[in-house]
Structure 1
Amino acid sequence: MTKDRQDRIRDVLSELRADWAVLSTSDAVCYATGKVIPIETGPSPFTGGPALAFVGRQGAVGLVCSNVEAADLSGSLEAEVYAGFAGDIVDQIVNYRAAVQRMMRRLNVGGVIAVQMGSHPASLNELMPIFIPMDHALDRARAVKTSSEILALRIAASVASAGQIAARSLSCVDVSEIEVLNGIRAVMEQKAGERCALAGEYLAGVDHTAALGTSPGVRRILEGDPVICDLAPRVAGYWGDSCNSFTVGAPSDAWRKMYDSARDTLMLAISTLRPGLTIQAFDAALRTNMQRDGFSYPHHSGHGIGTSVHEWPRIVPQEGALIEENMVLMVEPGAYLPGIGGVRCEHMLRVTATGADVMTEFKFD
């Protein structure tokens, strides 16, 4: 099921007049090869560099990774696995470079090599003396999803939705944010049937929800607390995303007004999203709708999603690109006011030929 994605990469190589792509982010490696690189604990101490996917303009594909990343490798994938972890002292960097050299000889890699400049390891520069950036071209090629990607994203969306449904029942007075989040995560991982890397947040209380960038903690929920529950699980290499806002007990009138504005703006997004609309115009319509109610938000209106939780395009005022069929976009209007709290409402939307397909399955009420 990776061939269609590899063909997209080859189209980028043709556009750039390059011979090979060497991809070095975990999400791009997954996109090109289907291999899910563990990310939950960050970069492994048992690797000499990031796992690499090689994609040739003429059809060859290969993977270089450490032995700690080599579980579940497809037998059809050309792979060079090097010793990163062993019962003795190993030089992971030397082993990594040697594995890259073996792969380059194996696939006859040469000519102009396109790389991800933001993550390409400097230790390989002398092995690949002629390279050019492909970051932006690759981002745009990945924005329109293939049929297999849409299926994978739909599964991830269902896991995020299960977490949102659980959040409503688990959010109770005198339970801590961490306790609720742990319960939500257990529900999502049971639904996924695997351990899920998780992005997002679970925040409760006026002060916590009104501030951006805070983390869940041991604060216990009080009667009337507003909650922001933002859940983004990675399932089999693809991310779902979602955000719901609600109160534990009756909301204040001021909070309810914010919530109604954010929810109605999300419904506006669902009703107006379509191919051919500029992202700039789409963003402006959402912000204008909230401004009519006296609210605004200091972040993007949304973003793409796939093998990375945040992908191009970002829905921001300066982006003039067109929305295209089979993009999958997160749309997340919100409002945050000291003394009242915060709200954010987010659904996962596939752009269809005529509008929007809502992929997340929980309700705002």
Structure 2
Amino acid sequence: MNRAEKVLKLLDKNNIDAIYLTKESNVNYISGFTDEAANVIICKSGNFIITDGRFTELAENVCKGFEVVNWHLFDRNITKAIQSICLNNGIKKLGFEKSNLMFDKYQTLNELLGEDDITLVPTEDIIETLRYVKDEIEIENSKKACAIADKALELLLPDIKAGVSERELCAKLEYYMKINGAQAIGFETILISGTKTSLPHGKPDDKIIEKGDFVTIDFGAMYNGYISDMTRTFVIGQPSEKQLEVYNLVKEAQLVGLENMKAGAHATAPDIEIRKIIKKYEEFYYPGIGHGVGRDLHEQPFLGNYGTKTMEAGCVITMEPGIYIPGWGGVRIEDTVLIKEDGIEILTNFPKDLIIIEG
């Protein structure tokens, strides 16, 4: 059963004739499209990818089993293209992704389809349900993205030193990813130093790295649409006792988190055990300790005290506990992890022992 057929089964359960997809990662997952600016409609009588003249040739080449619809041929009005597909295929109840369709687009589409007694039905997580567990091809793409990231950080290591700026190092890291096969960077690179490392999502700037600084690097590569996610923290010059203490606590916490990732485990399970390790610094602990990663950087399941899902074999999830002390700095260690029937496979393999870089 292909992906579109699996969608049809879910539509039957929801009593919907068809679904209109607008989220780029979902469109690409279902259709095989490899670029932007495309939508999809799945229904019993056919599958349609809606794009414009810039991408029709690409869609015809890569979207097997999909009819390509150039919406520019409908008075450059995508809602008219959708209306035509609905009328030609007997669609009376059209599902849409309620968390992704902009309200103004919804209003325009609802008004036009309403003229033909076609009802828009909000849906949630129809495609995400299928994406939760990765297939073998997806897992291989994730592994390749992780291998590219490992290699890039290995190449960057000699460049990390006192006297260079965060922005310069960031540019080099992204260059190393691309020359080693990355389709793109997976997300905006976090490369920060000194007291800025207390910011879980701090941004690199012209700050010069100095002796005594922690350097935190959170980054990923994209390969065939799939993203890796890894964080490592280094220290410039000999670390202080507190730096060693915090680093070693986070490393222990991350290992404990990994030990509590397994098929059948609830998303809250790792957090419970990690809190026992970092108790002394719990006020500086951020409970978002992991998330699914694939075509999107952040997917279900989300690990932490607010988690609602159960980990399953085939899920690809990060484990990334951290301690963040305002005005002092912070440490995060993160891996991308594959959940297997008999345990886990850590896909990011750069060393996690504290690397001390002589200033």
TM-score, length basis structure 1: 0.85
1:97 counterpart letter in structure 2: T
Q: 1:357 aligns with which of 337, 345, 351?
A: 345
Q: Which of 6, 18, 21 does residue 20 from structure 1 map onto?
A: 18
* CA-CA distance at 1:68 after TM superposition: 3.8
Among 13, 28, 36, the alignment partner of 1:30 is 28
Equivalent pairs, count: 342
Residues 91-170 of structure 1: matches in 2 within 5 Å?
A: 94-104=76-86, 108=89, 110-120=91-101, 121-122=105-106, 123-128=108-113, 129-170=118-159
Question: Which structure 1 segments of 5+ residues have no match?
Answer: 39-49, 85-91
- 2:47 matches 1:65: no
Q: Say if 1:80 and 1:103, in contact at 8 Å, map to a contact too.
A: no
Q: Is the 8 A contact 2:149 2:177 kept in 1?
A: yes
Provide the identity percentage: 22
Task: State the distance in 2 between where 1:290 and 1:11 align.
Answer: 45
Judge conservation of contact 2:183–2:222 (CA < 8 Å) in 1. no
Alpha-carbon spacing, 1:168–1:137, altered in 2? closer, same or farther (3 Å): same
Deviation at 1:345, TM superposition (A): 0.7
Q: Give secondary structure in 2 for the equivalent of 1:151.
A: helix
Q: 1:94 to 1:180 in 2, by over 3 A?
A: same
SS of residue in 2 equivalent to 1:192: coil
Shift of 1:53: 1.4
Q: Distance in 1 between matches of 2:5 and 2:200?
A: 39
| Cross-structure match for 1:210 | 198
Q: Does the C-alpha gap of structure 1 residues 156 and 5 become closer, same or farther in structure 2, counting only changes over 3 Å? A: farther
CA drift at 1:71: 6.3
Letter in 1 for 2:42: V
CA gap 1:314/1:70 in 2 versus in 1, 3 angstroms = farther
Q: Amino acid of the residue matched to residue 112 of structure 1?
A: K
Are the structure 2 counterparts of residues 4 and 204 from structure 1 closer, same or farther at C-alpha, using a change threshold of 3 Å?
Answer: farther
- Structure 2 equivalent of residue 345 of structure 1: 333
Between the aligned partners of 2:217 and 2:75, the Cα distance in structure 1 is 41
What is the TM-score when the length of structure 2 is the normalising length? Answer: 0.86
Q: Structure 2 stretches of 5 or more lacking a match?
A: 354-359
Q: Structure 1 pair 210/292, CA: closer, same or farther in 2 (3 Å)?
A: closer
Q: For the structure 1 residues 15 and 250, does the alpha-carbon distance in structure 2 shift closer, same or farther, using more than 3 Å as the test?
A: farther
Correspondence for 1:284 = 272
Q: Distance in 2 between matches of 1:63 and 1:145?
A: 23
1:114 corresponds to which letter in structure 2? G
Further displaced range: 324-333 or 121-130 = 121-130
Structure 2 CA distance for partners of 1:59 and 1:154, relative to 1, 3 Å: farther
Matched, 1:55 2:42: yes
Over residues 327-354 of structure 1, what are the superposed CA-to-partner deviations in whole Å (9 max), with x where a residue is unaligned? 1101110011134311111101111002
Q: Which amino acid aligns with 2:311?
A: I
Deviations 1:97-156, CA, capped at 9 Å, x for gaps: 3333444456x1513222111222313223554232322343333211112211121122
Q: Distance in 2 between matches of 1:343 and 1:239?
A: 22
Aligned residue number for residue 357 of structure 2: none
Counterpart of 1:250 in structure 2 is 238
- Secondary structure, counterpart of 1:361 in structure 2: coil
> After superposition, what is the alpha-carbon deviation per residue over 1:74-109, rounded to whole angstroms, capped at 9, x for unaligned?
43332123449xxxxxxx994323333444456x15
In 2, Cα distance between equivalents of 1:11 and 1:288: 44
Matching residue within 1, 6, 9 for 2:7: 9
Do the aligned partners of 1:199 and 1:233 also contact (CA within 8 Å) in 2?
no
Considering only aligned residues, what root-mean-square deviation do their CA atoms show, in Å? 2.5
Q: Once the two structures are superposed, what CA deviation does each residue of 1:245-292 show, in whole Å capped at 9, x if it has no partner?
A: 111222222122111111122212222311111112232222332226
Partner of 1:306: 294
Superimposed CA distance per residue, residues 9-53 of structure 1 (whole angstroms, 9 cap, x where no aligned partner): 334323322221211111111111121334xxxxxxxxxxx6211
Contact 1:226 1:247 in 2 (8 A): yes
Rounded Cα–Cα distance in structure 2 between residues aligned with 1:169 and 1:141: 42
Alpha carbons 1:66, 1:83 under 8 Å: kept: yes
SS class of match (2:20): strand
